[in-house]
Chains A and B, each alone.
Chain A
Amino acid sequence: MGLNHDNAERLLIVENLEKVYAGRGVLGTKKEVIALQGVSFSIRPESTLALVGESGSGKSTLAFCLACMERPTSGRIIFQGNEITALDEKQQRAVRPQIQLVFQDPARSLNPRFSALELVSEPLLVQGRLHKRKREDRARALLAQVGLPQEKALQRAEEFSGGQRQRLAIARALALEPKLLILDEALSALDCSVQAQIANLLLELQSSLGLTYLFITHDFAMAGHLADEIAVMERGKVVELGAADRVLREPEHEITRRLIAATPRLGSAAHLPQVV
Chain B
Amino acid sequence: MSMAQTMANPPKTISPFLQVQDLHVAYISRAGQKSPALAGLSFEVRPGETLGVLGESGSGKSTLAAALLRLLPGNGEIEKGVVLFEGQDLLRAEPRTLQRIRGARIAVIFQEPSLALHPMIRIGEQIKDVFAAHESSSRGVLRQKTLQLLAEVFPTDAARIAESYPHQLSGGQQQRVLIAQAIACGPSLVVADEPTASLDPSTQMEILSLFRKLREKFHLSVILITHNPAVLAGFADRVLVMYAGKAAEVGPAEKVLGSPQHPYTRALLQSMPSQLEGYANQRKSKLPVIPGDAPNLEVLATGCRFEARCADRMELCTRREPAVVNVGESHAVSCFKYGE
The interface of chain A, by Cβ under 8 A from chain B, is 48, 54-55, 161-164, 191-197, 199-200, 203, 218-222, 224-226, 228, 244-245, 248, 258-276
Measured CA separation A199–B282 after assembly (Å): 13
Tell me how many residue pairs across A and B have CB atoms closer than 8 Å.
Answer: 138
Asked if A203 meets B286 with Cβ closer than 8 Å, knowing A55-B171, A161-B294, the reply is yes
Q: Is the CB of A225 within 8 A of B287?
A: yes
By Cβ-Cβ distance, the 10 closest A-B pairs, closest first, are A269-B234, A224-B275, A225-B273, A269-B233, A264-B230, A196-B271, A191-B56, A262-B202, A196-B287, A262-B201
The interface of chain B, by Cβ under 8 A from chain A, is 56-57, 155-156, 171, 200-206, 208-210, 212-213, 227-231, 233-235, 257-258, 267-269, 271-277, 281, 283-290, 293-294
Q: List residues of chain B with CB within 8 A of the CB of A275.
A: 206, 209-210, 213
When C-beta atoms are compared, the residue in chain B nearest to A248 turns out to be: B275
Q: List residues of chain A with CB within 8 A of the CB of B290.
A: 193, 196
A161 to chain B, nearest CB (A): 6
Q: List residues of chain A with CB within 8 A of the CB of B203.
A: 54
Asked if A221 meets B275 with Cβ closer than 8 Å, knowing A191-B56, A264-B231, the reply is yes
Q: Is the CB of A224 within 8 A of B273?
A: yes
When C-beta atoms are compared, the residue in chain A nearest to B199 turns out to be: A55
Q: Is the CB of B201 within 8 A of A220?
A: yes
When C-beta atoms are compared, the residue in chain B nearest to A197 turns out to be: B289
- Most B C-beta atoms less than 10 A away, residue of A191, A195, A218: A191
Q: List residues of chain B with CB within 8 A of the CB of A228.
A: 284
B56 to chain A, nearest CB (A): 4
Measured CA separation A59–B155 after assembly (Å): 31
When C-beta atoms are compared, the residue in chain A nearest to B267 turns out to be: A193
B255 to chain A, nearest CB (A): 13
Q: Is the CB of B283 within 8 A of A225?
A: yes
Measured CA separation A261–B202 after assembly (Å): 8
Q: List residues of chain B with CB within 8 A of the CB of A276.
A: 155-156
Q: List residues of chain B with CB within 8 A of the CB of A261.
A: 205
Measured CA separation A274–B284 after assembly (Å): 34
Q: List residues of chain A with CB within 8 A of the CB of B285.
A: 203
Measured CA separation A196–B274 after assembly (Å): 11
Q: Which of A199, A264, A266 contacts B269, CB < 8 Å?
A: A266
B311 to chain A, nearest CB (A): 13
Measured CA separation A196–B204 after assembly (Å): 22
Q: List residues of chain A with CB within 8 A of the CB of B287.
A: 196, 199-200, 225
Measured CA separation A262–B290 after assembly (Å): 27
Q: List residues of chain B with CB within 8 A of the CB of A195.
A: 271
Q: Which of A192, A260, A269 contacts B272, CB < 8 Å?
A: A192
Measured CA separation A220–B283 after assembly (Å): 13
Q: Which of B171, B208, B227, B281 contacts A192, CB < 8 Å?
A: B227
Asked if A220 meets B276 with Cβ closer than 8 Å, knowing A191-B57, A225-B284, A266-B257, the reply is yes
A-B contact pairs, 7 of them (CB 8 A): A200-B289, A218-B201, A224-B275, A248-B276, A260-B276, A263-B201, A269-B233
Measured CA separation A269–B231 after assembly (Å): 8
When C-beta atoms are compared, the residue in chain B nearest to A249 turns out to be: B278
Q: List residues of chain B with CB within 8 A of the CB of A274.
A: 209
Q: Is the CB of B274 within 8 A of A221?
A: yes
Q: A220-B276, A260-B276, A272-B234 are in contact. List 19 more A-B contacts (CB 8 A).
A: A55-B171, A164-B293, A191-B227, A193-B289, A196-B273, A218-B200, A221-B273, A221-B274, A221-B275, A225-B275, A245-B283, A259-B201, A262-B205, A264-B205, A264-B233, A265-B276, A266-B274, A268-B277, A269-B233
Q: List residues of chain B with CB within 8 A of the CB of A273.
A: 205-206, 209
Measured CA separation A49–B286 after assembly (Å): 18
When C-beta atoms are compared, the residue in chain A nearest to B272 turns out to be: A192
Q: Is the CB of A266 within 8 A of B230?
A: yes
Q: Is the CB of A265 within 8 A of B284?
A: no
Q: List residues of chain A with CB within 8 A of the CB of B275.
A: 221, 224-225, 244, 248
Measured CA separation A203–B200 after assembly (Å): 25
Q: Which of A196, A219, A263 contacts B289, CB < 8 Å?
A: A196
Asked if A244 meets B283 with Cβ closer than 8 Å, knowing A260-B276, A264-B233, the reply is yes
When C-beta atoms are compared, the residue in chain A nearest to B55 turns out to be: A191
B54 to chain A, nearest CB (A): 9
Measured CA separation A225–B275 after assembly (Å): 6
Asked if A193 meets B56 with Cβ closer than 8 Å, knowing A225-B284, A266-B233, the reply is yes
Q: Which of A164, A199, A270 contacts B273, CB < 8 Å?
A: A199
Measured CA separation A271–B273 after assembly (Å): 20
Q: Is the CB of B276 within 8 A of A221?
A: yes
Q: List residues of chain B with CB within 8 A of the CB of A263.
A: 201, 230, 276
Q: Is the CB of A259 within 8 A of B202?
A: yes
Q: List residues of chain A with CB within 8 A of the CB of B283.
A: 224-225, 244-245
Measured CA separation A220–B273 after assembly (Å): 10
Q: List residues of chain A with CB within 8 A of the CB of B281.
A: 225
Measured CA separation A203–B281 after assembly (Å): 14
Q: List residues of chain B with CB within 8 A of the CB of A192.
A: 56, 227-229, 268, 271-272
Asked if A269 meets B57 with Cβ closer than 8 Å, knowing A197-B289, A264-B228, A274-B209, the reply is no
Q: List residues of chain A with CB within 8 A of the CB of B228.
A: 192, 264
Q: Is the CB of A272 within 8 A of B201?
A: no
A183 to chain B, nearest CB (A): 15
Q: List residues of chain B with CB within 8 A of the CB of A226.
A: 273, 284
When C-beta atoms are compared, the residue in chain A nearest to B203 turns out to be: A54
Measured CA separation A32–B277 after assembly (Å): 42
